[in-house]
Amino acid sequence: MDHAWSHNGRFLVTFSKTPNPTASSGETMRQSRSDVQFTMEDTWTTVAKLFVGFQEVAECMATRFDFGISPTFVRRQAESILDVLRAIPRSGSAAVPAGEVIQACLDDLRELAPVTYRKTLARIAGVSLIHAHFRSRMSDRGVAQAIAASSLYEIVQDLLDDLLDGGGLTFAEARRLYELCLRPLTHPAVSCDRLEDDLADFMAPGQDRLAHVLASATSELRGLLADADAQVLGRVADGHDALTRAQAATIYLRQEAFDVPMIREIARTLPTPDPSLSWLDRLAIYASWPSNIALFDAGFTTMPVSEPELTAHARAWLFFDAAVTFLEHYAGAKKDSDEGIVNVARLFIRPPEAGPDGNAFHGFSATERKSLFEKATTCLVRAIREGTATGHDAVDYVFMALIIPTVIFALSRTPPAEAEEFLGGLAAAVRLEVHGS
Q: Which of 109, 107, 78 is nearest to 93 (CA)?
A: 107
Q: What is the pLDDT of residue 40?
A: 56
pLDDT range class, residue 354, cuts 50, 70, 90:
very low
**Predicted confidence (pLDDT) at residue 386 exceeds the cutoff of 70:** yes
pLDDT range class, residue 18, cuts 50, 70, 90:
very low
The residue-averaged pLDDT of 169-189 equals 95
Helix axes 114-130, 140-165, angle to 10 degrees: 140
Q: What is the pLDDT of residue 282?
A: 97
pTM, rounded to two decimals: 0.89
The residue-averaged pLDDT of 253-262 equals 91
The residue ranking higher by pLDDT, 108 or 19, is: 108
* 3-state secondary structure string across 190-252: CCCCCHHHHHHCCCCCCCHHHHHHHHHHHHHHHHHHCCCCHHHHHHHHHHHHHHHHHHHHHHH
Q: What is the pLDDT of residue 93?
A: 67
C-beta contacts of 138-141 below 8 A and 24+ residues apart? 138/297, 138/300, 138/301, 138/302, 139/302, 140/80, 140/84
The residue-averaged pLDDT of 206-217 equals 93
Say how many C-beta atoms besides its own lie within 10 A of residue 118's C-beta: 21
How far, in Å, CA of 240 to CA of 291, rounded? Answer: 10
**Which tens digit of pLDDT belongs to each residue from 403-423?**
999 999 999 999 999 999 999
**Predicted confidence (pLDDT) at residue 137 exceeds the cutoff of 80:** yes
How far, in Å, CA of 404 to CA of 121, rounded? Answer: 16
Q: What is the pLDDT of residue 350?
A: 79
Helix axes 114-130, 99-112, angle to 10 degrees: 140
Contacts of residue 122, defined as CB under 8 A and 6 or more positions apart, other chains included, come to 12, 50, 411
